[in-house]
Amino acid sequence: MKSIKRLKPLAAVVGAGRTKFGELWYKNPEELLTEAGLKAVESVEYGLMRKDLQACYFGSFLYQVTNKLALVPGYMARELGMNIPMSNTEAACGSGGSALYNACLGIRSGEYDVALVGGFEKMTDRSEKIIDDLMFAGDLHEFGAGYTFAGLYASMMARYIHDYGDGSDGKCREALALITCKNHLHAMGNEYAQFRREFSVDDVLNSPLVADPIRMLHCSPVSDGAVALVVVSPEVAKKYTDTPIYIVGSQQATDDVSICSRESLTGIKATRLAMEKVLKETGMTIGDIQVAEAHDCFTIEEIFFLEDSGFCKEGEGWKIVYDSYESFNGSKHIPYVNGNRELVVNAGGGLKADGHPVGATGVRQVYECFKQLRGEAGGNQVDTEPNVALCHNIGGTGGIATVHILMRDLSKS
Binding its own copies (rule: CB under 8 A), the pick from 36, 48, 62, 245 is 62
- In terms of phi and psi (left: phi > 0; alpha: psi -120 to 50; beta: otherwise), the region of 22 is left
Residue 83 makes contact with its own copies by CB under 8 A: yes
Q: Is 261 helix (H, G, I), strand (E, B) or coil?
A: helix
Q: How far is the CB of 8 from its own copies (least distance, A)?
A: 11
Site for its own copies in 138-157 (CB under 8 A): 139-140, 143
Nearest distance, CB of residue 64 and its own copies, angstroms: 5
- CA of 351: how far to CAs of 18, 147, 315, in Å? 15, 22, 23
Residues 6 or more apart whose CB falls under 8 angstroms from that of 123 comprise 62, 66, 130, 222, 223, 224, 357, 358
Say if CB 107 and CB 47 are below 8 A apart.
Answer: no
**206 vs 354: CA distance, rounded Å:** 22
Nearer to its own copies, 347 or 394 (CB): 394
Q: Does 89 bind its own copies (CB under 8 A)?
A: yes
* Closer residue to its own copies (CB): 70 or 209: 70
Single out the catalytic residue among 184, 186, 333, 356: 356
The residue among 140 and 209 lying less far from its own copies, judged by its C-beta, is 140
382, 291 Cβ separation under 8 angstroms: yes
Residue closer to its own copies, measured from CB, 89 or 282: 89
Which entry of 93, 104, 181, 297 is annotated as an active-site residue? 93
Shortest spacing between CB 239 and its own copies, in angstroms: 21
93 catalytic? Reply is: yes
CB of 202 to its own copies, least distance (A): 36
Q: Is 219 a catalytic residue?
A: no
Q: Is the dihedral of CA 12, 18, 22, 26 positive or negative?
A: negative
Interface with its own copies, residue 261, by CB under 8 A: yes
Q: Of the candidates 154, 155, 160, which has an alpha carbon nearest to the alpha carbon of residue 316?
A: 160
Identify the bridge partners of residue 58 per DSSP, sorted by sequence position: 88, 118
CB of 226 to its own copies, least distance (A): 17
DSSP string, 174-226: HHHHHHHHHHHHHHTT-TT-S------HHHHHTSPEEETTEEGGGBPPP-EEE
Smallest distance, its own copies to C-beta of residue 65, A: 6
The bridge status of strand 55-59 relative to strand 86-89 is parallel
DSSP state of 298: B
* H runs (alpha helix) in 211-357: 237-240, 269-282, 299-308, 317-326, 350-354
**From 19, 34, 43, 98, residue interacting with its own copies (rule: CB under 8 A):** 98
Site membership for its own copies, residue 53 (CB under 8 A): no
Q: Which is nearer to its own copies, 63 or 192 (CB)?
A: 63
Residue 232 touches its own copies, criterion: CB under 8 A = no
Angle at which helices 149-160 and 299-308 cross, to 10°: 60
Residue 91 lies near its own copies (rule: CB under 8 A): yes
Query: Using CB under 8 A as the criterion, what x/- string covers residues 381-410 for binding its own copies?
Result: --------------xx--xx----------
- Span from 14-22, 92-100, 362-370, 373-381 in contact with its own copies (CB under 8 A): 92-100
101 scored as a contact of its own copies (CB under 8 A)? yes
Residue range at the interface with its own copies (CB under 8 A); choices 35-43, 84-92, 192-200, 365-373:
84-92
Instruction: State in Å, rounded, how far the first CA of the chain is from the last one.
Output: 11
Q: Which residues bind its own copies (CB under 8 A)?
A: 61-62, 64-65, 68-78, 82-92, 94, 98, 101-102, 104-106, 108-111, 135-137, 139-140, 143, 251-258, 261, 269-270, 273, 395-396, 399-400
